[in-house]
């Protein structure tokens, strides 16, 4: 029975028509019930009790969180209460990282300390370069990154002390700091170029660009517009509450695995084309379409569901993804420097058609974060294999904040969903010679 009393205002009455019995369950936090409250609903005492069946967790809250708020119907995204538009306009990626990880915007001294700590943890053990060298010349950058982050766990065995807040924070700083270094190494390996070591006097994104694009001893000066554009893109990708990869991070973290192992699992989830691999898939799609003239044929296939319009649609946003609007503006600034990406015309035309056609309007399919980001990344000189990597670097912050929140949440336990078993009933083993 609900704590609020029978028929109380914050209770839900359930009538089981199999038995005629009535139940009251509490309604929490506005409109949530505890799935475990359904377990009391039974036909008889031997019955296991009622469960909720929810493949893909489309209507299941796995946690109470204070990190990121999304209103998918209104196109709202906030980190710790701050609107994404304000953060993208006025903040920096490391300041946003601090906000997401700690819950509050840093005071100047706290920000300086955090930037210093991240800057001075960017180096990786030399053995990591040997690990990179073991990959084939054409290995995908994301595969290399996933493996190298996983390998980091062997360098920091103390990371297993996940209940020690100080040890946890040290791994968080290390991971935020080392992700750009490992990502740049993966890129340089792919290109057959020598690795460039981190430069401590550069900003987070300028250092990353330097490690990627510097040739020889010649000084590399990233264009400040591109440096800032990348910083904004990192802010936009820093967290997105309980998506597929964050759920992977939490599920692995719930077994008390170390953060490097958990993060490599989250990255593997991100790699898929329906999630963080979508920006790469968008670019491949735009290249395949090739010209505006080919769009009608392509859209015909999308409407008949032979093709999927990559970079469109979202499980949560049923309005324009607020990140996509900011990215579209950032694209204009980037193209002022790099020149216009010819794929932009195809993208704009696809968007125009999609926003007006019944197929897309009825299904609420709007451009998502990945639709324009790839076009910017390409204009900045990144090969498509680096696109999911560019998503993983900033999302590391969100994954780690969510992991930390999970470990501090006394309601959380090892994740272990139930199933509805539909297989054979008990049957006797038959030896191979008797199987006909
Ligand atoms: N193109 C064409 N049709 C689509 C698309 C699309 N991009 N997305 C959804 N639909 C259709 C889908 O076929 C279905 O139609 P029907 O009801 O007739 O069967 C309907 O819209 C509902 O789609 P769904 O697949 O049930 O929706 P979902 O919430 O399970 O999937 C999604 C969300 C993002 C996986 C999906 O929209 C998609 O595959 N989009 C393309 C990939 C993409 O851009 N992913 C990046 C997501 S944002 C960043 C991130 O999460 O990493």
Q: What is the model's pLDDT at position 177?
A: 98
Q: What is the model's pLDDT at position 6?
A: 63
Question: What is the Rg, in whole angstroms, of the alpha carbon atoms belonging to the chain?
Answer: 24
Confidence of residue 5 (pLDDT cuts 50, 70, 90): low
For residue 2, pLDDT over 70 is answered with: no
For residue 118, pLDDT over 90 is answered with: yes
Counted domains in the chain: 2
For residue 165, pLDDT over 80 is answered with: yes
Mean pLDDT of 72-84: 96
> Is residue 192 situated within a structural domain?
yes
In a shared domain, residues 343 and 209: yes
In a shared domain, residues 284 and 167: yes
| Range from 13-22, 39-48, 188-197, 273-282 carrying the lowest mean pLDDT | 273-282
C-beta of residue 381 within 8 angstroms of C-beta of residue 228 = no
Q: In what order do the strands lie in the sheet with 68-71?
A: 68-71, 76-79, 82-83
For residue 30, pLDDT over 90 is answered with: no
In a shared domain, residues 273 and 165: yes
Q: What is the model's pLDDT at position 119?
A: 97
How confident is the model over 187-198, as pLDDT tens digits? 999 999 999 999
Catalytic choice (140, 190, 240, 314): 314
pTM: 0.94
Give the separation between CA 295 and CA 255, rounded to whole angstroms.
Answer: 47
How confident is the model over 80-92, as pLDDT tens digits? 999 999 999 999 9
For residue 332, pLDDT over 80 is answered with: yes
Among left, alpha and beta (phi > 0; psi -120 to 50; other), residue 201 is alpha
> Is residue 206 situated within a structural domain?
yes
Q: What is the model's pLDDT at position 108?
A: 98
Which residue range forms the structural domain that includes residue 22? 1-53
Catalytic choice (116, 275, 293, 332): 275
> Is residue 421 situated within a structural domain?
no
Distance of CA 377 to the CA centre of its chain: 18
For residue 319, pLDDT over 90 is answered with: no
Residue with CA at minimum distance from ligand 1 atom 22? 363
Confidence of residue 391 (pLDDT cuts 50, 70, 90): very high
Residues having CB within 6 Å of any atom of ligand 1 = 243, 274-276, 278, 302, 305, 308-315, 363, 365, 368-370
CATH number for the domain harbouring residue 285: 1.10.580.10
- Ligand 1: residue of 236, 305, 308, 313 to mutate (most ligand atoms within 8 A of CB) is 313
> Is residue 433 situated within a structural domain?
no
In a shared domain, residues 261 and 327: yes
């Amino acid at each position: 029975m609900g704590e609020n009393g029978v028929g109380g205002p914050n209770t839900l009455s359930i009538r089981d028509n199999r038995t005629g019995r009535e139940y009251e369950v509490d309604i929490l936090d506005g409109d949530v019930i505890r799935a475990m409250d359904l377990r009391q609903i039974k036909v008889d005492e031997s019955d296991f009790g009622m469960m909720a069946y929810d493949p893909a967790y489309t209507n299941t809250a796995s946690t109470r969180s204070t990190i990121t708020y999304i209103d998918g119907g209104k196109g709202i995204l906030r980190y710790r209460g701050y609107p994404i538009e304000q953060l993208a306009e006025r903040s920096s990626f490391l300041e946003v990282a601090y906000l997401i990880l700690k819950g509050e915007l840093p005071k100047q001294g706290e920000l300086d300390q955090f930037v210093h700590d991240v800057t001075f943890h960017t180096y990786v053990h030399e053995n990591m370069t040997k690990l990179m060298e073991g990959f084939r010349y054409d290995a995908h950058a994301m595969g290399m990154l996933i493996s190298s982050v996983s390998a980091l766990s062997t360098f920091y065995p103390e990371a297993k002390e996940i209940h020690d807040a100080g040890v946890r924070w040290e791994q968080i700083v290390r991971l935020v700091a080392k992700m750009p270094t490992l990502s740049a190494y993966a890129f340089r390996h792919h290109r057959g170029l020598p690795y460039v070591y981190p430069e401590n006097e550069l900003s987070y994104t300028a250092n990353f660009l330097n490690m990627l694009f510097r040739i020889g001893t010649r000084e590399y000066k990233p264009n400040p517009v591109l440096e800032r554009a990348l910083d904004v893109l990192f802010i936009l990708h820093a967290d997105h509450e309980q998506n597929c990869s964050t759920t992977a991070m939490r599920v692995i973290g719930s077994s008390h695995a170390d953060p490097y192992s958990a993060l490599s699992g989250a990255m593997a989830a991100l790699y898929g084309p329906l999630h963080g691999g979508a920006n790469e898939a968008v670019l491949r799609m735009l290249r395949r379409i090739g010209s505006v003239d080919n769009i009608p044929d392509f859209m015909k296939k999308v409407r008949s569901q032979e093709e999927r319009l990559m970079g469109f649609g979202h499980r949560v946003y049923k309005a324009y993804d607020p990140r996509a609007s900011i990215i579209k503006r950032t694209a204009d600034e980037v193209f002022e420097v790099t020149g216009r990406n010819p794929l932009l015309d195809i993208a704009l035309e696809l968007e125009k058609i999609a926003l007006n056609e019944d197929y897309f309007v009825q299904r609420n399919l709007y451009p998502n974060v990945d639709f324009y980001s790839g076009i910017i990344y390409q204009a900045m000189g990144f090969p498509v294999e680096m696109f999911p990597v560019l998503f993983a670097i900033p999302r590391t912050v969100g994954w780690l904040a969510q992991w930390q929140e999970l470990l501090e949440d006394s309601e959380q336990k090892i994740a272990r969903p139930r199933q509805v078993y539909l297989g054979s009933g008990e049957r006797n083993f038959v030896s191979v010679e008797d199987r006909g």
